[in-house]
Amino acid sequence: MARLTEHGLRRSVGVSGLFATAYGNVGSSIYYALGLVAAHALGLTPLVFMFAGGLFVLTAKTYAEGAAMYPEAGGSSSFARHAFNDIVSFFAGWALSLDYIITIAISAFFVPHYLGAFFPALTHNPGDIIGGLITIVLLAALNIRGLGESAKLNLFLAVMDLCTQVLLVGLGFILVLNPAGLINQVHLGTAPTWTQLIFALSVAMVAYTGIETVSNMAEEARDPGRDIPRAVNRVVVAVLGIYAGISVVALSALPVVKHAGRYTTELSTRFENDPVLGIVQHLGLHGTVLELAQDYVGVLAATILFIATNAGLIGISRLSWSLAEHRQLPSLFSQLHPTFRTPWFTIVFFSILAGILILPGETTLLGNLYSFGAMLSFTTAHVSVVALRFKDPDRERPYRMPWNVNIRGRPIPLTAVLGAIGTFAAWCAVVALHPEARTIGIPWMVVGMAGYVIYRRRQGLHPAKHYRIARPERPADFEVLDYRTALVPIFGEDVSATALKSAAKLIGADGVVYAIFVLPVPAQLSLEAGLEAEEAQGRSALESARIQARRLGIKIHTGLIRTRNPGAALVEEAERVGSDVIYWSTIHAPAGERGIGPTATYLLSKRPCRVIIETDPRRGREAAAVAA
């Protein structure tokens, strides 16, 4: 019926912003994954990264289709909810929550290691543990106070990081690349052994942490159906290119050698916790140039990892909110701080868990646990998107995965099928070879699923059925005006702040106004049709509304909706955001909508909440029509 193309203060994130956020999260993994994988893969490290990269490509395609189809937070949990039921949805969400905890812990733990370029005490215990804990505490406090993500900062850092890594690869190819030496480092069956190789393959997926960011950013994308696939493709190309190049340079600069009867590389010994700094130190640079390069990489890496830690906190907040909204977690996980309006309990709860995982100071533990949760979550995502091809074949899919074959009359994507097989096989390898997965990962899932079933039964809810938090019913005496949220529709060239002022008076200083620009799409056009000029006009009107709201001290969220039925779209949006009142000034609306037109009539007939319609008194009508 309607396609929401913008929602909230940041519904203006385009391809560049999506790429920056996703690459910042995925690309940050190079600063710790290189040492973890090289410890087991040795001379085959580049090939292991490429194989894991193949699974990443398949998984990225699945998330592109799923997130474009359902632009909502939750990732694999959301896909599973639509494809199966709430049990499968919670299973995926709980596995994904483990990933976020690990992302927070492992990113925070490596921040002090790269700052060790300035403070050597931070490169080993207990300095690195204390530094990691301080990072988590600091970010948790800032997030409770309302720290968010800055698209411009993410873009700047992502570009700087990408350019730095490209520069490292370029310098490495010029200064230290040794193709013959790379081949001579491989002693398959001995260094690495077959068991080590399989182990390394299962660990290597830690290099691709952050793909879930694509789903979580979907709600903030300007045009999810178009922008998400483009951003995913750019991330895939950038990440695969960087990992291939930098792992080759790493083994050229820090080759595998035989020492005391065993093969090792300094990537996994001396520089296990700061492998990129190890590369810089062995490029043949000297004196001031070397010192400046080390300082620059140390600061950049620490900053990128700091941002990745923050992204993990924001991601777990969004996921928990989604699960609580669908009554899969207690409502406490969606409870907002009375002053800062942030999910304080979720931030504190998961920050404590991440801090506990840092205490042992074992990076291998963190890497192995990430692979456990990630493979479960990725497998569920693949299976869910395939199942949706059967369950909901007619749903609009702005992006479809390639390599489809017809099965029972439905186009089934081989990318998702191969991805499901590959990620599930990797999960089996993790469970078989990683003791941490058996002692922590499996109990995590068992306890979570048991808690979910107990919670649902105590609430009198069926574990498999779909529920949402019920909005409080209106009091019998509806004349008691206790509004907290107001939805203000905007048509045409309405950039007046009059309606915003009037709505703000109704909801008070602590209320929130949702300003929604309605873009009607003619029946002869698809919802995805051009209308660039009209959409640009709408965004301009919303930007003007935001500016005026800031001047007036009004808390505002904005959105742009393409729709064939403005009234139905507004009713749907009012229900979605839990609006207490719809305040619509028709004075600047198109001619057919002025006064009590078709949209106003629809709103008054459906009445999702209190409806107040302001008309032009010069037209001989009442100044405002109010419906209870």
Residue 572 three-state SS: helix
- pLDDT value of residue 249: 92
- pLDDT value of residue 627: 44
- pLDDT value of residue 94: 92
Domain ranges within the chain, ordered by starting residue: 2-454, 485-627
Task: Choose the CATH number for 485-627 among 3.90.1150.10, 3.40.50.2300, 3.40.50.620, 3.20.20.450.
Answer: 3.40.50.620
pTM greater than 0.85: no
At 487-541, the pLDDT tens digits run: 888 876 555 566 777 777 777 766 788 888 888 877 667 666 677 777 878 887 8
Tell me the C-alpha distance between 87 and 95, whole Å: 12
Phi, psi of 512 (to 5 degrees): -130, 135
Tell me the C-alpha distance between 278 and 336, whole Å: 44
Tell me the C-alpha distance between 91 and 297, whole Å: 39
Phi, psi of 70 (to 5 degrees): -125, 85
- Looking up tokens 């994904």 gives 96
Tell me the C-alpha distance between 104 and 135, whole Å: 10
Specify which residues 557 forms β-bridges with. 514
Tell me the C-alpha distance between 333 and 317, whole Å: 8
Tell me the C-alpha distance between 104 and 111, whole Å: 11
- pLDDT value of residue 478: 37
Give the homologous superfamily in CATH for domain 2-454.
Answer: Amino acid/polyamine transporter I (1.20.1740.10)
The four Cα atoms 54, 46, 307, 17 give a dihedral, to 10 degrees, of -50
- pLDDT value of residue 433: 84
Tell me the C-alpha distance between 511 and 504, whole Å: 7
Residue 187 CB neighbour total at 10 angstroms: 15
Please provide the DSSP assignment of 162-209 as one string. Answer: HHHHHHHHHHHHHHT--HHHHHHT-BTTTBS-HHHHHHHHHHGGGGGT
The answer to whether the CB of 583 falls within 8 A of the CB of 505 is no
Q: Do domains 2-454 and 485-627 have the same CATH topology?
A: no
- Looking up tokens 């049709």 gives 529
Encoded amino acid at 218, one letter: A
Rg over alpha carbons for the chain, rounded to the nearest Å, is 26
Record the tokens describing residue 571, joined without a space.
């009713």
- Tell me how many helices (H) and strands (E) the chain has: 22, 11
Answer positive or negative: Cα dihedral of 565, 571, 576, 582: positive
At 126-168, the pLDDT tens digits run: 888 999 999 999 988 888 876 555 556 667 777 888 888 899 9
- pLDDT value of residue 445: 93
Residues of the chain with pLDDT under 50: 1-12, 471-480, 620-628
Residue 179 CB neighbour total at 10 angstroms: 9
Residue 128 three-state SS: helix
Nearest to 91 by CA among 105, 106, 74: 74
List Cβ neighbours of 64 (8 Å cut-off, separation of 6 or more).
214, 228, 229, 232, 233, 399, 401
Tell me the C-alpha distance between 531 and 200, whole Å: 50
Record the tokens describing residue 550, joined without a space.
């800031």
CA 378 to chain CA centroid, nearest Å? 14
Specify the pairing of strand 581-585 against strand 485-490.
parallel
Tell me the C-alpha distance between 620 and 598, whole Å: 18
Q: Where are the alpha helices (DSSP H) in 254-343?
A: 275-281, 287-325
CA 602 to chain CA centroid, nearest Å? 36
Nearest to 278 by CA among 289, 265, 287: 265
Record the tokens describing residue 626, joined without a space.
């109010």
Tell me the C-alpha distance between 562 and 2, whole Å: 6
